[in-house]
Homo-oligomer: A and B are copies of this chain.
Amino acid sequence: MATAPIAHESQVLELADPLPLDGGQSLSGVRIAYEAHGTLNPAKDNAILICHALTGDQHVISHHPKTGKPGWWVRMVGPGKPIDTDKFHVICANVIGSCMGSTGPASPAPDGKPWGMRFPVITIRDMVRGHVALLDALGIEQLHAVVGGSMGGMQALSLAANFPERARSVLVLASTARHSAQNIAFHEVGRQAIMADPEWREGDYYAHGKGPEKGLSVARMAAHITYLSEEGLTAKFGRRLQDREEKTFGFDADFQVESYLRYQGLSFTDRFDANSYLYITRAMDYFDLAEEHGGMLARAFAKSKARFCLVSFDTDWLYPTAESRNVVHALNAAGLPVSFVELSAPFGHDSFLLDVPALDRVVEGFLNQ
């Protein structure tokens, strides 16, 4: 189904006050790029904040300015869709540390040159502080809901824990309350791939051509495998050859899956900043909501009065169902209302972005209760 392009310009808010960071520094002149869709009602109580994933951005339903592709969640958000912009005022903000308009390592530091690796290491909670500052500026005291998948779900959980008054409902998809050793390991491979590229130049590549494209491409390829399920890869590609009848006995991309991965890697470098990739993966690896709250996850939610919904996918091996169940147990222990469902979908971790009609029903049902 063709959708008319939504050429929604991002808006950019510059924060008046410095943003305090978990690392102890504070960041002045922070800019937050965001998009809003649907009308904010006079009571300002129909807003939904959508939090994006690692390589996502604020273009939740508008076309991406660099790739020209439709927004990353057009199937879920829009008039009459599960997150209905006829009812709700939907806000999506680029996280700090990213590269689509919000302040990150590619942004100018006070000396006018790009921050590069001088940018402070940030956390998921720091990203959420940016979101909350945006809500303050918009005069939105309490969200109808905060919604996020993957790293977006971490932000939703962090907002619920650290700013318990700011959201009445919390919807967390395919996410986790802490990064596991395996999660960290895959991210470390990506970071090392970027840093191994001599074009990375210790992060100071902005004045020198295209930056560490090869390293970033390898990082994306490795990560991309973790977003898909083994079954999904087999169904989509199997051992089928790419535009050839026979193996070439060479190192071309003989197999479709090789060709696909190479494309995923290369195309990513056109739209994403390598240093942002370093900083955001670091923030995710540092994420451990229990650790932030004395080692007990239930304590993280001690001040919350929100209602929660968690969704996992049976083929997601990046953040498997056990991770969601862990959060549900903590919410139960905290006496909070929570619904939880593991959905069956063949797409692995990426299921939350793809065609899973059961997810649509869960999202719509939860937001309209």
Binding site for B on A (CB under 8 A): 22-24, 117, 120-121, 178-182, 184-186, 188-189, 191-193, 195-198, 214-215, 217-218, 221-222, 225, 228, 230, 233-234, 236-239, 247, 249-251, 253, 255, 257-258, 261-262, 265, 278, 282, 285-286, 288, 291, 317
Q: Are B121 and A192 in contact (CB under 8 A)?
A: no
Q: Which 10 pairs, one residue from A and one from B, show the smallest C-beta to C-beta distance? A: A196-B214, A23-B249, A181-B233, A121-B249, A181-B237, A181-B257, A182-B230, A188-B258, A189-B221, A193-B218
- Known A192-B217, A239-B291; further 15 A-B contacts with Cβ < 8 A: A24-B249, A178-B239, A180-B234, A182-B233, A182-B234, A184-B257, A185-B257, A189-B222, A191-B251, A193-B218, A195-B251, A196-B215, A222-B222, A230-B317, A255-B285
CA distance A160 to B288 in the complex (A): 50
Query: Most chain-B Cβ atoms within 10 A of its Cβ — which of A188, A233, A237, A288?
Result: A188
Instruction: Find out whether the CB atom of A257 lies under 8 angstroms from the CB atom of B188.
Output: yes
Which residues on the B side are within 8 Å of A251 (C-beta)? 117, 121, 191, 195, 278, 282
Q: Which residues of B sit under 8 angstroms from A230, Cβ to Cβ?
A: 180-182, 317
List the B side residues contacting A217 at CB < 8 Å.
Answer: 192, 196
Nearest CB in chain B to that of A256: its residue: B181
Most chain-B Cβ atoms within 10 A of its Cβ — which of A181, A193, A215, A261?
A: A181
Which residue from chain B places its CB closest to the CB of A25 in the assembled complex? B249
A186 and B120 alpha carbons, distance in the complex (Å): 32
Residues of B within 8 A of A265 (CB): 192
Measured in the bound complex, the distance between the Cα atoms of B247 and A24 in whole Å is 12
Q: Quick one: closest B residue to A247, CB to CB?
A: B286
Task: Tell me which of A189, A221, A261, A291 has the highest count of chain B C-beta atoms within 10 A of its own C-beta.
Answer: A189
Shortest beta-carbon distance from A251 to chain B in Å: 7
A-B contact pairs, 14 of them (CB 8 A): A24-B249, A121-B250, A180-B230, A181-B236, A181-B237, A188-B258, A189-B218, A189-B221, A189-B222, A193-B196, A196-B217, A198-B198, A239-B288, A251-B278
In the complex, which residues of chain B have a beta carbon less than 8 angstroms from the beta carbon of A182? 225, 228, 230, 233-234
A333 to chain B, nearest CB (A): 21
A262 to chain B, nearest CB (A): 7
Tell me the complex Cα distance, A222–B22, Å: 30
Nearest residue, chain B, Cβ from A195: B251
Residues on the B chain within 8 Å of A24, using CB: 249
* Cβ contacts under 8 Å, A291 to chain B: 239
**A23-B249, A191-B251, A282-B251 in contact; A184/B239 too (CB < 8 A)?**
yes
